[in-house]
Amino acid sequence: MPALTTSILFSVERHLAGTASAVLNTACQVGGATGVAIFGAIVASGTGGRSWAVYGVQC
Protein backbone atom coordinates (compact mmCIF):
# COMPACT_ATOMS: atom_id res chain seq x y z
CA MET A 1 0.00 0.00 0.00
CA PRO A 2 2.77 2.53 0.72
CA ALA A 3 4.03 2.21 -2.86
CA LEU A 4 0.55 2.94 -4.18
CA THR A 5 0.17 5.93 -1.87
CA THR A 6 3.56 7.30 -2.87
CA SER A 7 2.95 6.90 -6.59
CA ILE A 8 -0.47 8.56 -6.39
CA LEU A 9 0.72 11.48 -4.27
CA PHE A 10 3.76 12.07 -6.47
CA SER A 11 1.58 12.10 -9.59
CA VAL A 12 -0.49 15.14 -8.49
CA GLU A 13 0.53 18.75 -8.17
CA ARG A 14 1.89 19.76 -4.79
CA HIS A 15 -1.04 22.03 -3.89
CA LEU A 16 -3.47 19.12 -4.55
CA ALA A 17 -1.63 16.57 -2.42
CA GLY A 18 -4.01 16.98 0.53
CA THR A 19 -7.05 16.43 -1.64
CA ALA A 20 -5.45 13.43 -3.34
CA SER A 21 -4.60 11.94 0.05
CA ALA A 22 -8.18 12.42 1.26
CA VAL A 23 -9.63 10.83 -1.88
CA LEU A 24 -7.24 7.88 -1.60
CA ASN A 25 -8.09 7.39 2.06
CA THR A 26 -11.82 7.55 1.33
CA ALA A 27 -11.47 5.03 -1.50
CA CYS A 28 -9.61 2.65 0.80
CA GLN A 29 -12.26 2.97 3.51
CA VAL A 30 -15.14 2.44 1.07
CA GLY A 31 -13.35 -0.52 -0.50
CA GLY A 32 -12.74 -2.13 2.87
CA ALA A 33 -16.31 -1.61 4.04
CA THR A 34 -17.68 -2.97 0.77
CA GLY A 35 -15.45 -6.02 1.03
CA VAL A 36 -16.62 -6.75 4.56
CA ALA A 37 -20.26 -6.32 3.53
CA ILE A 38 -19.89 -8.65 0.55
CA PHE A 39 -18.06 -11.25 2.63
CA GLY A 40 -20.74 -11.03 5.33
CA ALA A 41 -23.49 -11.49 2.74
CA ILE A 42 -21.73 -14.55 1.32
CA VAL A 43 -21.27 -16.09 4.77
CA ALA A 44 -24.88 -15.32 5.75
CA SER A 45 -26.21 -16.84 2.53
CA GLY A 46 -24.38 -20.06 3.36
CA THR A 47 -26.35 -20.40 6.61
CA GLY A 48 -29.73 -20.18 4.88
CA GLY A 49 -30.60 -17.18 7.04
CA ARG A 50 -30.19 -19.13 10.30
CA SER A 51 -28.16 -17.88 13.19
CA TRP A 52 -24.73 -19.40 13.75
CA ALA A 53 -26.05 -20.52 17.15
CA VAL A 54 -28.18 -23.14 15.34
CA TYR A 55 -24.95 -24.77 14.23
CA GLY A 56 -23.43 -24.64 17.69
CA VAL A 57 -20.95 -21.88 16.83
CA GLN A 58 -20.24 -19.55 19.73
CA CYS A 59 -19.01 -16.08 18.81
Q: From first to last of the 59 residues of the chain, give the pLDDT tens digit.
A: 688 888 888 999 999 999 999 999 999 999 999 999 998 888 777 766 566 565 555 55
Q: Which residue range is the domain that position 12 belongs to?
A: 2-55
What is the predicted pLDDT for the residue at 1? 67
What is the predicted pLDDT for the residue at 2? 80
What is the predicted pLDDT for the residue at 5? 84
CA distance 24 to 53: 39
What is the predicted pLDDT for the residue at 56? 59
User: What domain count does the chain have?
Assistant: 1
